Amino acid sequence: MSEFATVVSLALLPAVGNFAGGMLAELWRPSKLNLNRALHASAGIVLAIVAIELLPHALQSTSGWVVGTAFGLGGGAYLGVQTFALRAQPSGATDMARMWIIYIAVAMDLFSDGLMIGVGASLGTGLALVLALGQMLADVPEGFATVANLRDKGVPAARRTLLSLAFAIPVLLAATGAYFLLRNQSELLQVSALVFIAGLLTVAAVEDMIGEAHESAQDKRGSVLAMILGFVLFTLVSAGLGQN
């Protein structure tokens, strides 16, 4: 398999996780508390990706000054996009309008997944594989929440399936674009791009995933335990693949 084909295959993993979560929403409607726990687990996985893979890899290759600056720029960029999206939302938006806003937000999240995989692949396919597997696990509850929202708004089943499949487009575009743009660049630029995405992911986990979990149901001890288990799960996956 060529290196480009490998990148495409890895980029599909988050989309597969998202689609699997969506199909689960077609078959089963869990309680709001269980959705709360699933989102906490997803946040734990994302935080583990940043803490176990992205930042240690960056700190081995460049200075803390570069890492801190790139992380801050990534987190700030996410806040900027979030602020723009909130201001663009009509003040009297209907439930259907809010549904599409949520759908676009998820597509943007998958786009960032693709960027991370493409940048990771420019540094090594082993790193890209671990990142793709981690995002696949984290995207299952996200896909579930998205399709459950579409279902609640009365979107027909066939259209829900097509919309769920369409999430593969942004992740593939981002992964291939990042890979071709960065594969022949300096390691400093590649690592800085990876840390920039780490900033995006951290803010997304803390602000969006945990925030959405709190909107679903009040936290219980099981919610915190789910986040811990998500962190541990990714750490074991990384260790099992020999990355740490």
**Residue 142: other Cβ atoms inside 10 A:** 27
Q: What is the pLDDT of residues 7-22, one digit of tens each?
A: 889 999 999 999 998 8
- The Cα 129–Cα 143 span in angstroms is 20
Report how far residue 63's alpha carbon sits from residue 83's, in angstroms, rounded to the nearest whole number.
Answer: 30
**136, 11 contact by CB (below 8 A):** no
The per-residue pLDDT for range 103-150, each reduced to its tens digit, is 776 787 788 888 889 888 888 888 888 888 888 888 888 788 778 778
Q: ∠ CA(174), CA(57), CA(234), 5° rounding? A: 75
pLDDT in tens, 146-194: 787 787 777 888 888 998 999 899 899 989 988 888 888 888 888 898 8
